[in-house]
Amino acid sequence: MKTQEVAQALSRIAHEILEHHGDAEGLVVVGLATGGAHLAKRLADLVNDLEGIRPPCGTLDVTFYRDDFRTRAKPPAIATDITFSIDDRDVLLVDDVFYTGRTTRAALNALMEYGRARTVQLAVLIDRGHRELPINPDYVGRKVATKYDDEVKVLLKESDSEDLVTVEEVQQER
């Protein structure tokens, strides 16, 4: 996906969210650090452009909630930034790539630390398949068929100066 395709996918997701919810009242947007946080801000801006109401937007770091925390390389923790109540609100979790479902499971656990949402939905830019848990996104920018070992790279203009999504086949060493 290139810049225009990313923009179109996010616009479509924003329209689908409003179609489902009717309006932006009661909606909060929470992006998973780091790529999901950038996309969450864009979706909140798009909802504002369409509805005239910008939903509160925050960032959620799930590092310490992951089930593989002890076995994977430990990235630096990104500060969670949720300065609003999620109690009795419709929470839209946003991530860049949806893969096994494990990051979303961690996000749900982390989110519960901040209150009791009325509903929680998931929006992702890329759904690459290969579920390991019974979790599916509600809003998808694009489904991409990948091999289990492929690497999906999402570059976003906020951190990488351009919007670009690529799938790279990982070569196995012999």
pLDDT class for 89, splitting at 50, 70, 90? very high
Give the integer Cα–Cα distance in Å for 70 and 68.
6
Q: What is the pLDDT of residues 12-56, one digit of tens each?
A: 999 999 999 999 999 999 999 988 999 999 999 999 999 999 999
- In whole angstroms, how far apart are CA 45 and each of 22, 39, 147? 17, 10, 34
Q: What is the CATH number of domain 3-69+77-168?
A: 3.40.50.2020
Number of other residues whose CB lies within 10 A of the CB of residue 31: 27
Structure tokens at 147: 């091999």
Any idea of the CA torsion for 92, 36, 33, 45, to the nearest 10 degrees? -70
Quick one: what percent of the chain has pLDDT higher than 70?
A: 93
**What are the residue boundaries of the structural domains of the chain, listed by start?**
3-69+77-168
Give the integer Cα–Cα distance in Å for 143 and 53.
29
